Amino acid sequence: MTKNTECNLLVLPGDGIGPEIIAQTLRVVSWFGEFLDVQIKTEHALVGGASIDACGYPMSDEVFSKAEAADAILFGAVGGPKWDDRPRSERPEMGILRLRKGLDLYANLRPAICFPELIGASALRPELVRGLDIMIVRESTAGVYFGEPRGISTDAQGARRAVDTQSYAEAEIARVCRLAFELARNRESRVCSVDKANVMETGALWRSVATEVGREYPDVELTHMYADNCAMQLLRGPNQFDVIVTDNLFGDILSDEAAALTGSLGLLPSATISAGRHDQRSHAVYEPIHGSAPDIAGMGIANPIATILSFAMCLRISMNEPAAAKLLEDAVRLALFNGNRTPDIAGPERDGISSDAMTDAILASLDALKVSKGN
Ligand SMILES: NC(=O)c1ccc[n+]([C@@H]2O[C@H](COP(=O)([O-])OP(=O)(O)OC[C@H]3O[C@@H](n4cnc5c(N)ncnc54)[C@H](O)[C@@H]3O)[C@@H](O)[C@H]2O)c1
Ligand SMILES: CC(C)[C@H](C(=O)O)[C@@H](O)C(=O)O
Ligand SMILES: [Mg+2]
């Protein structure tokens, strides 16, 4: 069969459980390589600590050039104790930050869905999380992650002072808010903008710009919430949210919190996307929201679902294959429905299965759904 189009997928496994969950996800990528008209071409490269060990940098210029040229990037996770004592600018985490900034990946989409099959694994009571479906839109190229000045200085008495700078230009706020409103139009048409407008100048600007952008979307309800209250409301009544749009740091924290509502950090996928380039192509990184999990690295028990669902987002956003994305999401649900659980979602009474066995179950579900849908 001749394939109609091509997708060049750059695969960056990283550190810790990164290579493990990526290896599992590539089994799913291969399955779709057979199934789709798109020809998926993968190329692998080093990032994070693995790259530091090989060439001294968390992301080399060569790998960054490959990322620029790729149609999509599948990213595992970076970091680990081995590199924790390095200066900030030389840590593995700079690998992902360079990608976000360098490719202008301004919007990090982090959907948090509570699957009915996992309602018992949630940190909250079932009645609080039943039907949970939130989209967190996290700004990802600005804020305190990239603001200047930053650094640590020592005064005349030898006492150290650290400085980070939270900085936002209105255009940086407007574009991520606009995207949140667009996404909300295909959901429940509700956006909650989260800031600290009561304390921070950046928060006041965030609220004012979100309000201005909201006027362009009279059909979408806009509410504002302080970030501390949002952290509490996510625990008290998470179903009140549809789309949350917020800055880089609050989005990082609130999305890990949302993961606990769904059952595990090992379940939450993400897509970090840029605007279209002049040639109409855009960049995108697909990655789980979790990190390299040093505590379970090498044990073969990491939950691969967050990364596999990140590939589903890749199918939908970068490959324009919504039916395939839905098929994969359904296959994950079916594998869970059939009782497959890695230890993070197994609960205290069960041992849990390996990453490999969970992927086997998802692949078997893909085969079963493919047959039942007559594909
Ligand atoms: N995008 C990234 O690459 C990324 C994201 C977050 C953290 N990190 C880095 O990862 C390292 C560890 O950070 P951390 O421990 O704070 O966060 P983490 O997300 O790696 O782990 C937090 C907890 O969640 C568990 N967990 C995470 N993913 C899991 C999965 N797929 N299956 C089962 N359990 C899972 C871990 O075992 C751990 O108990 C640090 O170096 C950090 O900077 C990287
Ligand atoms: C590794 C780190 C730089 C990263 C972040 O803080 O953005 C991570 O926590 C994430 O959520 O992707
Ligand atoms: Mg994080």
The domain that holds 299 is classified in CATH as 3.40.718.10
19 in a structural domain: yes
334 in a structural domain: yes
pLDDT of residue 217 exceeding 70, the answer is yes
Residue 371 has a pLDDT of: 80
Residue 259 has a pLDDT of: 96
Looking at the structure, tell me whether residues 177 and 235 fall in a common domain: yes
The rounded Å distance from CA 180 to ligand 1 centre is: 26
Looking at the structure, tell me whether residues 271 and 257 fall in a common domain: no
Q: Say which residue the tokens 């987002």 belong to.
A: 313
Looking at the structure, tell me whether residues 128 and 189 fall in a common domain: yes
Going along 68-200, which residue ranges are E strands? 72-77, 107-113, 133-139, 147-154, 160-165, 190-195
Please identify, among 262, 281, 312, the residue that sits at the C-terminal boundary of a domain.
Answer: 262
What is the extent of the structural domain holding 150?
123-262
Looking at the structure, tell me whether residues 127 and 246 fall in a common domain: yes
H-type alpha helices, the chain:
18-35, 49-55, 61-69, 94-102, 126-129, 170-185, 201-214, 227-236, 248-262, 305-317, 322-337, 343-346, 355-372
Distances (CA, A) of 198 to 64, 171, 201: 39, 21, 8
Tens of pLDDT along 96-136? Answer: 999 999 999 999 999 999 999 999 999 999 999 999 999 99
Instruction: Please state the domain count of the chain.
Output: 2
Confidence label for 1 from pLDDT (cuts 50, 70 and 90): very low
Cα gap 152→160, rounded to integer Å: 7
Q: How many CB atoms lie within 10 A of CB 244?
A: 26
Looking at the structure, tell me whether residues 254 and 350 fall in a common domain: no
Looking at the structure, tell me whether residues 245 and 358 fall in a common domain: no
Q: In what order do the strands lie in the sheet with 5-14?
A: 38-44, 5-14, 72-77, 284-286, 271-273, 107-113, 133-139, 243-246, 190-195, 221-226
Looking at the structure, tell me whether residues 89 and 134 fall in a common domain: no
Please identify, among 239, 262, 285, the residue that sits at the C-terminal boundary of a domain.
Answer: 262
Over residues 205-223, mean pLDDT: 98
pTM of the model: 0.96
118 in a structural domain: no
Comparing CA positions, the residue from 274, 336, 286 lying closest to residue 313 is 286
Looking at the structure, tell me whether residues 143 and 61 fall in a common domain: no
Complex-level ipTM beyond the 0.90 threshold? yes
Which residue minimizes the CA distance to atom 10 of ligand 2?
Answer: 289
pLDDT of residue 297 exceeding 60, the answer is yes
The rounded Å distance from CA 290 to ligand 2 centre is: 8
Over residues 270-284, mean pLDDT: 79
Ligand 1 site, CB within 6 A: 17, 21, 77-80, 93, 96, 264-266, 287, 290-296, 302-303, 306, 344
319 in a structural domain: yes
Looking at the structure, tell me whether residues 132 and 196 fall in a common domain: yes
Residue 374 has a pLDDT of: 62
Cα gap 260→244, rounded to integer Å: 17
Cα gap 365→362, rounded to integer Å: 5
Please identify, among 241, 262, 283, the residue that sits at the C-terminal boundary of a domain.
Answer: 262
CB 220 within 8 A of CB 181: yes
348 in a structural domain: yes
Looking at the structure, tell me whether residues 154 and 254 fall in a common domain: yes
Looking at the structure, tell me whether residues 62 and 148 fall in a common domain: no
Cα gap 229→241, rounded to integer Å: 13
Looking at the structure, tell me whether residues 314 and 226 fall in a common domain: no
| Mean pLDDT of the chain, nearest integer | 95
Among 97, 138, 307, residue to substitute to test ligand 2 (most atoms within 8 Å of Cβ): 97
Q: Is the dihedral of CA 94, 95, 96, 100 positive or negative?
A: positive
Among 82, 90, 290, 351, residue to substitute to test ligand 1 (most atoms within 8 Å of Cβ): 290
